[in-house]
Structure formats: C-alpha cells, structure tokens
Amino acid sequence: MEAISSPALAVERLTKSYGDGTLALDELSLVVPAGSFFGLLGPNGAGKTTLIGSISGLLRAPAGRISVFGHDPVSDPAARLLVGLAPQEIHLDRFLSARDLLTYHGRYFGMMRAEAEARANELLGIFDLGGKAQSKPQRLSGGMRRRLLIARALVHRPRLLVLDEPTAGVDLELRYDLWRYLRRLQGEGVTVLLTTHYIEEAEELCEQIALIRGGRIIDEGSPTELVSAYGGETLEDAYQAAMHG
Amino acid sequence: MSELQRLQLRGTAALAGREVRRVFALWTQTILPPFVTALLFLAVFGGALGSRIREIGGLDYAGFIVPGLLVMTVVGQSFGNSSTSLFQAKNEGYIEDVLTSPLAPWQLALGYLAGGFIRGLVAAAAVAAVAVPIAWEGGGNVGLAVLALVICALVFAALGVITGVWSESFDQHSFVASIVIAPLALLGGVFYSADALDEPWATLTRIDPLYYLVDATRGGLTGFHESPIWLSLLVAAGIAVTAFAAATALIRSGWRLKP
C-alpha cells in the first residue's frame, strides 16, 4: 500500500538505451513531491520524453527504479491508475468521436460506462469541446486535438498528471486557459509534471524545476533558486547558463 | 477478486467492445466483402462447375464445399481483423491509450482478439444464412461444426494479434495474409477431398493444419469426414491456447510495441 509520505514520483539511477545505442537516460535520479507543480526543462534529446515514457509504461522497462506514489509502474498495474499522460505527439483513436474517445479511455482504466460518460461530458465542457463531442479527431483543429489529448489524460482522475509539452503549437488564449485549469487541478491535490520549451511557462507555473541534459538531471530548485545559482536576471538566463556551462 | 482485478476486467471488456464496435462500424469492409466472396465461390464452384464434378463422399459438390467456405471466411476475417486493428493502433500511435492503462498483457491480447473472433463468426454466419439453405443436405452434428468454427476463429484471431505486433509496415502485414494465410486456406481441402488426391498433394493437404478444421466442420455439418473429428478439435484447441499464450508473451515483452 501507499506510504503516506510517498512522493508522487521517485526515480533512482534510471538508465535507458535504445536499440541504436543511444543512451537516453544515464542513471537519472529525481523526486517529485506529492502535490507539487514540477517542471522538467531541457533541450531536444535531453531525455524528457524517455523519462515520461518510462513512468507511463510506453517504454520497455529501463534499468533502475521507478516509484509512483509508492507503486512500481513496471510491475504493479495499480501505478497506471495514478498516472495521466498527455504525450507530446498527438495520437488519437480515429475510429471514435471525441466523446467516445474519452469514455473508452475511462473504461480502459476500469470506470463504469455511465461514470466514464459523465466524466467525458464534464471534460468536454471544461476544455470547450462540447460542440465537437460527436466529431472524430481528424475533424478537429490542432488546438482542439491538443485539448482533447489533455482531457483524455484526466478522465480517470489521475493523481499525477504528466504533460509533455502541452502548449506546443497552441494559441495564447488556450495556453492561458490551460494554465488556469492546471493551477486549479494542483489546488485540488493533483501533482503536475510538466515538460516545456517555453521557459516563461515553467517560470509561471512550476514550484520546482529540474534541468535535464544528456539523460541526467544537472540541477534542480525553485525558479528563484535556479536564477540565483546561475546569476542573470531570469530563468531563461539560468537555463542558458546551465545548458551551456 | 481485488478491486484492481475488477477494474482490469472492466477495461478488458471495454477494449473488446471497442474492437467489436469497429467491426460493425466498418461493416462494408469487414462483413460485406467476405460474404460476397464466399457466395461467388459457391456460385462458381458449386453452381457453374458443380454439375460437372461428381459427388464427393456422397455429397453433391456445393454441399461439400460449403463447410470449407465457412472455415475460409472465419480464417480470413478473424486473422485480418486482429492483425489490422492492432497494426493500425501501433502504426498511428493511439495504442498508447491502452498501453498506459492498467490492463495486463493477456487482457490486451484478449481485447484485440475479440474483434477478430466476432468478425470471423459474424461473417461466417452471414455466409451460412445464404449458403446452408441452398447447399445443405442435413446430417452430421451442427454443434460440432459450430465448435470447429469457434476454435478456428480463436486460432486465427490470436495469430492476427501476433502478426499485428510483429508487423512494422503494411508490406509485412500483407505478406503474412497473402503468403501464409491464403495458401493455408486454399490448400486446406476446401474444394477437394484429400483422399482423392495423388501425392504429393494429398500429403501437402494433410500437413496443412486448416485441413483438420475444414474436415471437422464438414463432419459436423454433413457427417462426412476423413479424420477423427475430436482429435482435430483437440489439436486445434491446443493451437489456439498456444497462439494466445504467444500473443500474450509478445505483448508482455513489449517487442515492437515499445522502444
């Protein structure tokens, strides 16, 4: 059972190599406290998506240890119930309407049909997709598909929400709406793990930020701590100094 | 049963439901073509050519080929559905929806198998609804024929899951359907009796595992068979269990599903 003090996510010496020999994670260790808004910043190829895939079961088990609220996602299916993932790439079941897509997702996670339908309708409303409930994903705009992807991650009420560049390619209005909603979720006790290339987004939302490069965490702290550690005036300055230092 | 197991079973039922729903949503691609194909086979071989072929095992030719056509329908549709649906989900990336779920590997295999199983049997039922009244002369044990078709659907839906996992391109996917499944079906004694063939064709037919399912179905529908029916069914059931276990093991390993 989950220990009361378990962090939302703890990874220890995580190492993952791909078939072509690429070392994506190099003994990476990280702790994401429960209830926090945690950012992961790093350049393309730093290992962010690999780390997220390892947490959510999309990759073959890496070496090392992963714990989600005390559960090992590799061996314990209960861990999957606790994680909601909105991946960077948008892949949505093209045979299902937006409403059915959310409903089926909830049911894959064990929700009763009526409960999943009610939750799907609630999320369609929250993400302003009510008018597109019957539309298939391929009939939606890029922004709508992105919203649907995030809604899908939330259907089963995960305690750890993992968002891999959720605002990539979306307009400013949606970005601000999403920020408001994510803050609200965090207020309700959901832990958010966010990767983004928008430094101002991380600065605005995240209480803690880990900087990742070459499959390792090179530093972490609050935005203020990182700025003071690297000098400069903004998190952007600190990020540039950390990555090129 | 634990709460987690209850949730997993609901999830499995949902995935199976999604797969079956896809079959009926795409009925012009999943049910209609095999129905038309089987009727064309019946019309050409049973009708146009049938009068020129003498009876086989006391059955007129149309009555002889109907059981095999049912098996061919089940084979093609069960295999095609499971392999295509899983390959599409993998190729288009939305398989992540179920890979991130708490479903166990055997439950994922079962969910994908369900669509193929139902599609094969529904397509065969559609063919039977037209062909059996025309060509069936009675006799046999219909329950045995249904059992043979059910086992056949399980075997080929499970093989479809394996192929869906294995395929990395449409070419690989169609290769198995064209080079493995179609010859198995055509050499499985659908259109002829193995006893009437010269060597090496008789042996080739008898080493085709489908021959025994065709023979068992024919035995069930007409009473005419060339091999022990229960032995055929037992071996086929063993193959179904083995194929399902292999599909589960592949999914558990993450091979070609997860980098």
Do B259 and A91 make contact, defined as CB atoms within 8 angstroms?
no
Instruction: Assess if residue B259 is contained within a domain.
Output: no
Distance to chain B for A104, nearest Cα, Å: 7
Note whether A212 and A47 are within 8 A (CB).
yes
Helix (H, G, I), strand (E, B) or coil at B90: helix
Minimum-distance CB partner of B100 among A58, A61, A78: A58
Instruction: Write down the pTM of the prediction.
Output: 0.94
Instruction: Assess if residue B27 is contained within a domain.
Output: yes
Chain A residues close to B6, C-beta within 8 Å: 110
Minimum-distance CB partner of A58 among B8, B96, B104: B96
**Higher pLDDT pick, B178 / A124:** A124
pLDDT tens-digit map of A7-26: 999 999 999 999 899 999 99
Chain A residues close to B86, C-beta within 8 Å: none
User: Is residue A2 over pLDDT 70?
Assistant: no
Q: Which residue in chain B is spatially nearest to A85 when comparing CA positions?
A: B100
- pLDDT score, position A4: 53
- pLDDT score, position B50: 67
pLDDT tens-digit map of A69-80: 999 999 999 999
Instruction: Assess if residue B37 is contained within a domain.
Output: yes
**Higher pLDDT pick, A245 / A198:** A198
Output DSSP code: residue B48.
I
d(CA B199, CA B44): 27
State the DSSP string of A118-160.
HHHHHHHHHTT-GGGTTS-GGGS-HHHHHHHHHHHHHTT--SE
Helix (H, G, I), strand (E, B) or coil at A241: helix
Instruction: Assess if residue B230 is contained within a domain.
Output: yes
Short-list A56, A22, A72, CA closest to A163: A56
Chain B residues close to A109, C-beta within 8 Å: 7, 11, 101-102
Chain B residues close to A78, C-beta within 8 Å: 4, 102
Q: Which residue in chain B is spatially nearest to A81 when comparing CA positions?
A: B102
**Distant-in-sequence, close-in-space partners of B181: CB < 8 Å, separation ≥ 6:** B75, B76, B79, B156, B159
Share of chain A above pLDDT 90, in %: 91
- Summary mean pLDDT of chain A: 94
Chain B residues close to A77, C-beta within 8 Å: 4, 8, 102-104
Distance to chain B for A100, nearest Cα, Å: 10
d(CA B132, CA B141): 14
Distance to chain A for B131, nearest Cα, Å: 32
Those residues of chain B whose CB sits closer than 8 Å to some CB in chain A are: 4, 6-8, 10-11, 13-15, 17-18, 21-22, 25, 89, 92-94, 96-104, 253-254, 258-259
Short-list B145, B153, B109, B155, CA closest to B225: B145
Length of chain B: 259
Q: Which residue in chain B is spatially nearest to A94 when comparing CA positions?
A: B94
Minimum-distance CB partner of B100 among A85, A110, A112: A85
Short-list B112, B149, B156, CA closest to B127: B149
Average pLDDT of A107-116?
A: 98
User: Is residue A128 over pLDDT 90?
Assistant: yes
pLDDT tens-digit map of B92-102: 999 999 999 99
The CA-based dihedral angle spanning residues A84, A90, A95, A96, taken in that order and rounded to the nearest 10 degrees: 40
**Paired tokens of A66:** 């992963």
**Paired tokens of B97:** 């929806």
pLDDT tens-digit map of A76-103: 999 999 999 999 999 999 999 999 999 9
Q: Among the CATH numbers 2.40.50.140, 3.40.50.300, 2.60.40.10, 1.10.3720.10, which is that of A9-82+158-244?
A: 3.40.50.300
Q: Which residue in chain B is spatially nearest to A162 when comparing CA positions?
A: B100
Chain A residues close to B98, C-beta within 8 Å: 108
- pLDDT score, position A1: 47
Chain B residues close to A57, C-beta within 8 Å: 99-100, 258
Helix (H, G, I), strand (E, B) or coil at A218: strand
User: For each of chain B's 259 residues, which pLDDT tens digit applies?
Assistant: 899 999 999 999 999 999 999 999 999 999 999 999 988 888 887 777 767 777 787 888 888 999 999 999 999 999 999 999 999 999 999 999 999 999 999 999 999 999 999 999 999 999 999 888 887 777 789 999 999 999 999 999 999 999 999 999 999 989 998 999 888 888 888 888 888 888 888 898 899 999 999 999 999 999 999 999 999 999 999 999 999 999 999 999 999 999 9
Alpha helices in B92-228 (DSSP H): 96-99, 105-135, 142-166, 170-175, 182-186, 201-206, 209-222
pLDDT tens-digit map of A194-244: 999 999 999 999 999 999 999 999 999 999 999 999 988 999 999 999 998
Is the peptide bond preceding residue A77 cis, with omega within 30 degrees of 0?
Answer: no
Q: How many other CB atoms sit within 10 Å of the CB of residue A194? A: 24
**Paired tokens of B2:** 């634990």
Length of chain A: 245
Mutation to test the B interface, candidates A23, A102, A109, A152, most B Cβ within 10 Å:
A109
pLDDT tens-digit map of B30-82: 999 999 998 888 888 777 776 777 778 788 888 899 999 999 999 999 999 99
Q: Where are the domains of chain A?
A: 9-82+158-244, 93-156
Instruction: Assess if residue B258 is contained within a domain.
Output: no
Average pLDDT of A158-175?
A: 92
**Distant-in-sequence, close-in-space partners of B231: CB < 8 Å, separation ≥ 6:** none
Q: Is A57 left (phi over 0), alpha (psi -120 to 50) or beta?
A: left
DSSP3 helix / strand / coil % (chain A, rounded to 5): 40, 25, 35
Q: Could you list the residue range(s) of the whole structural domain that residue B138 is in?
A: 3-253
User: Is residue A3 over pLDDT 60?
Assistant: no
d(CA A28, CA A243): 16
Chain A residues close to B96, C-beta within 8 Å: 58, 85, 87, 91
Distance to chain A for B88, nearest Cα, Å: 10
Note whether A112 and B3 are within 8 A (CB).
no
